[in-house]
Amino acid sequence: MKWSWKVGRIGGVDLRVHATFLLLLVWLALSAYRTGGTLAAVGQAVAFILALFASVVLHELGHSRAARRFGVPTKDITLLPIGGVAKLEYIPDKPKQELVIALAGPAVTLSIIVVLYVAIRLLGLPVALGEEVFRAGNGGSFLARLLWVNVSLLLFNLLPAFPMDGGRVLRSVLALRMPYLRATEVASRVARAFAVLFGVVGFLYNPFLMIIAFFVWLGAAGESAALQQRSILGGVTVERVMVRDVQTLAPGDTLDAALRHVLAGFQHDFPVVEQGAVVGVLTRDALLRGLAARGRESTVAAAMEASFRTADPREPVEGALAHLRECRCQTLPVLAGGALVGVVTTENVAEFVMIEAALRSPPRAKAA
């Protein structure tokens, strides 16, 4: 996910924080400042934020552990203002498995709520939902505030809208009785309806809901697009989508020559070939860095990426896309018997998906 930074690794899963998560932190700090002053904002607010951070991470680890039971690895966990998102390598084909994974996170949050409630009762602290519970630094219970925020997150996450857990629960339940693609389309429409509702209410009463509406709308669109891509690319090999007419470079070519190729055509990344073998890839970013650091007459060998991933023309396109995501690159050389036969790029795969989607869509009725 763009605009996110890796802050650690837990249980073999990368933990990332999205830039917009800072908005939630600022909002909590300002709320504490208004009620308790600077000391509360710096002290209690920071501690509360860390506790909330831990609660959300545990929630997402619940999804991750449940997914692991079905052999589905988790790529990373990203914290957002609306909670967290555990990015699975793929969605299980069986709706019952997705249902278990979707409910695992709320189950963890419910466990946190129960533990907090028992601790509050044992300590004799107030637990009732009221203004005094949320007043930082003025007799309000830290544990009670954390409990009610977790209750809010639990209820919010169970709303039947992507990217919340309730949206995935809705889809998996619908998929028990209808095709998976149809279930996703229905769940996405429900999510868009919630996004519009959040947007209107946020505009009238609380701007923070407008941010939530934005993420819900993107989540609905993303789920629909991802499943459409998955259905189109299912069974398609790299050979069908790869670019065959590829401009290559030699290690001894100058960056000026590479620059001329960029300006003369549409290709941005170039396989570097020496004696018939691919020895590197000169990406557009590497080209720009080389031009800035060493000038036009520097060689391709000095700027190219010597470590790179490749694809086989007979492998599934989804596998090649996974390689592209792993290396965070845009182009993979396609090799057959060690020889370059083409390249596969995120751009031409996206074009293939758009063309196939257009061909599969029903024709529009002509106006009378």
pLDDT tens, position by position, 110-164: 999 999 889 888 887 777 655 444 444 433 477 888 888 888 888 888 888 877 8
8 and 126 share one domain:
yes
47 and 16 in one domain? yes
> Which residue has better confidence, 325 or 139?
325
What range does the domain containing 183 cover?
Answer: 170-229
Looking at 179, 210, 229, the residue that finishes a domain is 229
Q: What is the per-residue pLDDT for 187?
A: 84
Could you read off the pLDDT of 355-366 as tens digits, one per residue? 887 776 666 555
Tens of pLDDT, residues 3-18: 667 777 777 777 887 7
Half-sphere exposure (Cβ direction) of 258: Cα atoms closer than 13 Å: 34
What pLDDT sits at residue 36? 56
Residue at a domain's end among 179, 195, 229: 229
Non-local (6+) Cβ contacts of 81 within 8 A are 18, 20, 21, 23, 24, 208, 211, 212, 215
Is 165 domain-assigned?
A: no
Together in a domain, 99 and 176: no
Does 10 reside within a domain? Answer: yes
Same domain, 52 and 154: yes
Please compute the mean of the pLDDT values over residues 278-298 and round it to a whole number.
89
Residues 146 and 183 placed together within one structural domain of the fold: no
Same domain, 142 and 11: yes
Average pLDDT over residues 61-89: 80
Number of folded domains in the chain?
3
Rg of the chain over Cα atoms, rounded to whole angstroms, equals 25
User: Highest-confidence range of 28-32, 301-305, 327-331, by mean pLDDT?
Assistant: 301-305
> Does the model's pTM come out above 0.85?
no
Q: What share of the chain is helix, strand, coil (3-state, %, to 5)?
A: 60, 15, 25
CA atoms within 13 A on the CB side of 291: 14
Do 157 and 105 meet the contact criterion of CB atoms below 8 Å apart?
yes
pLDDT band at 40 (very low <50, low <70, confident <90, very high): low
Distances (CA, A) of 74 to 33, 66, 77, 78: 37, 10, 8, 11
Nearest to 44 by CA among 118, 137, 135: 137
Residues facing residue 334 across a β-bridge: 311, 342
β-bridge mates for residue 86, sequence order? 77
Q: Mean pLDDT, to the nearest integer, of 229-233? A: 76
Distance CA 65, CA 45 (A): 30
Q: For residue 63, how many C-alpha atoms fall within 13 Å in the half-sphere facing its CB?
A: 30
At residue 272, the pLDDT reads 92
| CATH code, domain with 247 | 3.10.580.10
Over pLDDT 70: what percentage of the chain?
Answer: 83
Query: What's residue 37's pLDDT?
Result: 56
* Residue 193, SS3 per DSSP: helix
Give the pLDDT of residue 108. Answer: 93
How many whole angstroms separate alpha carbon 58 and alpha carbon 53? 9
Mean pLDDT of 307-330: 83
